[in-house]
């Protein structure tokens, strides 16, 4: 008996539902790329500020590679903490408006580490229903009771908090900018609810960092609710154009994560070139406070162009602009048609989004001009029709 035969059957079932995923290698990264000598528009990249291509970011990585070598070569608690790691964490803490920061290997590892170290059996985690998979996985890993409130529904959250008295601790988790819908969480309202019950509040700012708030510091700082949000999670791989994740928090929580977050303790530190690139990116945000606002202006223009052609962009209010399709197969077909026009878009299907809400997920970046946006809107409308 072939012990792997069941896998073939499961993959065939995914194929039949138009849910099978495959890798599609590209020769370059960024919002505008060249393939076989022809220019392509990439609306599936999270390189929102085009910083992965910025010469100062690249030069910083190149210098660190020459000075330190290719890798950190150990976990942070052994010999993997370099002076560059501490420099970056100090800059990120200041940038986010918190006393301290701690860098993890990725955004997924950051959520896994912080949530699983703060909650365990006997605790309650209240999470937005559309929160990222890393948040849901971390909650399950913790052993705590996970209850999901209706998306962006503060009233439903308020109702669920009545159960918190039955548990030892309560943790409330949400994203500030949702990665698939592009809409914004009512953070100010949620922060008041959290204060009332004395819960720990974690906000995932992966898609807000670099775009929202002063100098791209995120929505938490923009709303001046740092004291209400215990942990502001971020990534280095989207608005900052590199790789990695982390948290901004109190010094006490930083010490706790260093001692208890297994995804921090038991993994090799990020390479020096990656850290140096992030330092350069944070410095650039400080020098260019206008970047986030300009990106959001272009996103407004893109949404208007799509809506004027009868397309549904849901409640997007960020640089992430979905176009609702509904059917899985049709979403794949539309993405294929757009590739024939040298436009790359992501066709997002369940389980990443709820059943019946397959969509195109469009990411605006500063690499996309107003002319690119108009051209793409026309092509998308034609492809959907």
Q: Which residues are catalytic?
A: 46, 132, 175, 179, 204, 207, 238
What b/e readout covers 88-99, taking b as 16+ CB neighbours within 10 angstroms? bbebbbebbbbe
**Contacts with 356 (C-beta within 8 Å, 6 or more apart), sequence order:** 326
Contact of 134 with 111, CB cutoff 8 Å: yes
**179: nearest Cα among 369, 359, 376:** 359
Tell me the C-alpha distance between 284 and 53, whole Å.
13
Per-residue DSSP letters for 65-80? HHHH-S---SBIIIII
**Preceding amide of 211 cis, omega within 30:** no
How many Å separate Cα 154 from the centre of its chain?
A: 22
How far from each other are the two terminal CA atoms of the chain, in whole angstroms? Answer: 48
Tell me the C-alpha distance between 372 and 364, whole Å.
10
Q: Which helix (H) or strand (E) element contains residue 88?
A: helix 83-96
Beta-carbon-side half-sphere exposure of residue 273 (alpha carbons within 13 Å): 11
Tell me the C-alpha distance between 68 and 75, whole Å.
16
| In 121-271, alpha helices (H) | 133-142, 154-160, 187-197, 219-222, 251-260, 262-265
Tell me the C-alpha distance between 291 and 284, whole Å.
10
Tell me the C-alpha distance between 118 and 62, whole Å.
37
Contact of 235 with 106, CB cutoff 8 Å: yes
Contact of 322 with 182, CB cutoff 8 Å: yes
Tell me the C-alpha distance between 228 and 190, whole Å.
10
Tell me the C-alpha distance between 92 and 101, whole Å.
6
């Amino acid at each position: 008996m072939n012990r792997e035969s069941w896998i073939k059957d499961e993959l065939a079932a995914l194929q039949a539902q138009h849910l099978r995923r495959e890798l599609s290698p590209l020769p370059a990264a960024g919002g505008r790329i060249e393939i076989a000598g022809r220019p392509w528009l990439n609306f599936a990249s999270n390189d929102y500020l085009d910083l992965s291509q910025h010469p100062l970011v690249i030069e910083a990585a190149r210098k660190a590679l020459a000075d330190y070598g290719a890798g950190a070569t150990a976990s942070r608690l052994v010999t993997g903490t370099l002076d560059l790691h501490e420099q970056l964490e100090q800059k990120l803490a200041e940038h986010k408006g918190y006393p301290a920061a701690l860098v993890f290997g990725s955004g997924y590892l950051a959520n896994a580490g912080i949530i699983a170290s703060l909650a365990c059996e006997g605790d309650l985690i209240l999470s937005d229903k559309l929160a990222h998979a890393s948040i849901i996985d971390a909650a399950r890993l913790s052993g705590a009771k996970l209850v999901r409130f209706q998306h962006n529904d503060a009233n439903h959250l308020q109702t669920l908090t009545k159960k918190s008295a039955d548990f030892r601790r309560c943790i409330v988790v949400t994203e500030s900018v949702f990665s698939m819908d592009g809409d914004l969480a009512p953070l100010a309202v949620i922060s008041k609810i959290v204060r009332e019950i004395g819960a720990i509040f974690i906000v995932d700012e992966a898609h807000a960092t670099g775009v929202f708030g002063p100098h791209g510091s995120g929505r938490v700082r923009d709303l001046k609710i740092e004291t209400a949000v215990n942990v502001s999670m971020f990534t280095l791989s989207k608005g900052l154009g590199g790789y990695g994740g982390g948290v901004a928090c109190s010094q006490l929580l930083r010490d706790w994560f260093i001692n208890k977050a297994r995804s921090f303790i038991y993994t090799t530190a990020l390479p020096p070139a990656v850290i140096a690139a992030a330092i350069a990116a944070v410095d650039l945000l400080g020098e260019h406070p206008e970047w986030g606002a300009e990106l959001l202006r272009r996103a407004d223009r893109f949404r208007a162009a799509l809506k004027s052609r009868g397309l549904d962009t849901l409640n997007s209010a960020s640089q992430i602009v979905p176009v609702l399709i509904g059917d899985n197969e049709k979403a794949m077909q539309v993405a294929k048609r757009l590739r024939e026009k040298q436009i790359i878009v992501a066709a997002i299907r369940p389980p990443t989004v709820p059943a019946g809400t397959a969509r195109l997920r469009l990411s605006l970046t500063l690499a996309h001009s107003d002319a690119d946006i108009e051209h793409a809107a026309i092509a998308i409308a034609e492809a959907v029709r």
